[in-house]
C-alpha cells in the first residue's frame, strides 16, 4: 500500500487531479456559505449582466439570477448525482459480476448475455432510451446512467472472481469447510476491491458528463434547479449577447471531470504497474 501511495504521489498530474476534485468538493459542501446570493432569486432588472458586475462577480443569467451562486449549487448536484449514480452502478455491476463469476453455469450465461445486450447499445443512446421509458427527471437520469455502466463493473469483477477462484488460498478455505457464500463475500470480494476502486475513479468523470448531457437535452435535472447541464442548455439562446453564460458551466464541468480523470489515471498507474 505504501508503494502505491509513493507511486501516486510521484505523479504530478494525479496530484493536480486530486487537488481539483478536493476544491470542487469543498466548494460544493460550502455552497450555502460561499454563494453571494440565493441561486434562484430572480432580478429582471439585471438580466445577462457581464462578469465583474458589482454584486455579481460572474454576472447573471437570463432571469438575472447570480451565476456564481448557481455554479456553486450546481457543483452540489453534479457531485452528488455523479457519485450516487457511480455507486449504484458499481454495487449493481459488482453483484452481477460476483454472481456470474462465482456461481457460473447458466447464471453466468444469463448475466453475461444480458451484459452483452446492454453493451450492444452505444453508451449515451441507451441512457436516452431508458429516459424515454421512465420519463425525464433527476432520479431517472441517475438510474439511466447507472444502468448503462453496470456492464463495465460486471466484467471487471467477473474477471477478478474467475482469477481469484483458482488461487490456492480459496481452494484451502473451501477445503476447510468455509461456506460458498462466506467465501464469496470475504475472500473473493476483498480481492475485487482494488480494481473496482480504480474503475470508480475512472468512471465518475464520464458519469458527470453523461448526466450533464442528459440535463442539457432537457431529459435530466429539470429547471429551475441550478445544474450545469441545464444552465448550458438555457444559455444557447443568448450566445451572441452573453457568451459567458454558456462558457462558465462548461468550464465547471470540464474542471471537475478533468480532476476525476487525472485522479483515476494516477490511481490506475499506481495500482497496475504493468501499464506504465
| Residues found near other proteins in the complex (CB under 8 A) | 13, 113-114, 116-118, 120-126, 128-129, 131-136, 205, 209, 212-213, 216-219, 229, 232, 235-236, 239-240, 243, 246-247, 249-250, 253-254, 257-258, 261-262, 265, 275
Q: Which is nearer to other proteins, 117 or 186 (CB)?
A: 117
Phi and psi at 53, nearest 5°, equal: -70, 135
| Shortest CB 60 distance to other proteins, Å | 18
Q: Which is nearer to other proteins, 7 or 255 (CB)?
A: 255
Q: Which is nearer to other proteins, 98 or 212 (CB)?
A: 212
Round to whole Å and give the CA distance between 213 and 227: 11
| Shortest CB 153 distance to other proteins, Å | 17
Round to whole Å and give the CA distance between 246 and 235: 5
| Shortest CB 33 distance to other proteins, Å | 28
Transcribe 61-114 into DSSP letters: -TT--BHHHHHHHHHHHHHHHHHHHHHHHHHHHHHHHHHHHHH-HHHHHHHHHH
| Shortest CB 91 distance to other proteins, Å | 22
Residue 128, all three cell numbers: 436516452
Q: What is the 3-state secondary structure (H, E, C) of 118-148?
A: HHCCCHHHHHHHHHHHHCCCHHHHHHHHHHH
Q: Which is nearer to other proteins, 87 or 247 (CB)?
A: 247
| Shortest CB 195 distance to other proteins, Å | 18
Q: Which is nearer to other proteins, 97 or 188 (CB)?
A: 97
Residue 214, all three cell numbers: 442528459
Q: CA 171, 175, 179: angle at the middle one, nearest 5?
A: 90
Amino acid at each position: 500500500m505504501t508503494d502505491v501511495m509513493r507511486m501516486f504521489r510521484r505523479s504530478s498530474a494525479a496530484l493536480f487531479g486530486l487537488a481539483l476534485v478536493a476544491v470542487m468538493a469543498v466548494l460544493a459542501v460550502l455552497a450555502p456559505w460561499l454563494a453571494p446570493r440565493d441561486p434562484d432569486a430572480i432580478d429582471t432588472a439585471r438580466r445577462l449582466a457581464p462578469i465583474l458586475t458589482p454584486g455579481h462577480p460572474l454576472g447573471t443569467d437570463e432571469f438575472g439570477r447570480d451565476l456564481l451562486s448557481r455554479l456553486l449549487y450546481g457543483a452540489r448536484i453534479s457531485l452528488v448525482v455523479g457519485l450516487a449514480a457511480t455507486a449504484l452502478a458499481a454495487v449493481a455491476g459488482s453483484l452481477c459480476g460476483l454472481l456470474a463469476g462465482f456461481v457460473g453455469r447458466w447464471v453466468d450465461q444469463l448475466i453475461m448475455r444480458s451484459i452483452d445486450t446492454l453493451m450492444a447499445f452505444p453508451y449515451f443512446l441507451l441512457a436516452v432510451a431508458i429516459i424515454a421509458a421512465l420519463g425525464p427527471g433527476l432520479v431517472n437520469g441517475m438510474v439511466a446512467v447507472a444502468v448503462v455502466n453496470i456492464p463495465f463493473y460486471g466484467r471487471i469483477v467477473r474477471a477478478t472472481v474467475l482469477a481469484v477462484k483458482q488461487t490456492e488460498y480459496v481452494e484451502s478455505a473451501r477445503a476447510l469447510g468455509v461456506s460458498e457464500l462466506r467465501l464469496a463475500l470475504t475472500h473473493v470480494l476483498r480481492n475485487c476491491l482494488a480494481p473496482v476502486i480504480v474503475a470508480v475513479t475512472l468512471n465518475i468523470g464520464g458519469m458527470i458528463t453523461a448526466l450533464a448531457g442528459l440535463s442539457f437535452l432537457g431529459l435530466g435535472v429539470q429547471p429551475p434547479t441550478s445544474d450545469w447541464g441545464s444552465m448550458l442548455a438555457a444559455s444557447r439562446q443568448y450566445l451572441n449577447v452573453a457568451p459567458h453564460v454558456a462558457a462558465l458551466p462548461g468550464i465547471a464541468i470540464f474542471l471537475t471531470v478533468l480532476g476525476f480523470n487525472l485522479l483515476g489515471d494516477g490511481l490506475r498507474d499506481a495500482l497496475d504497474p504493468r501499464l506504465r
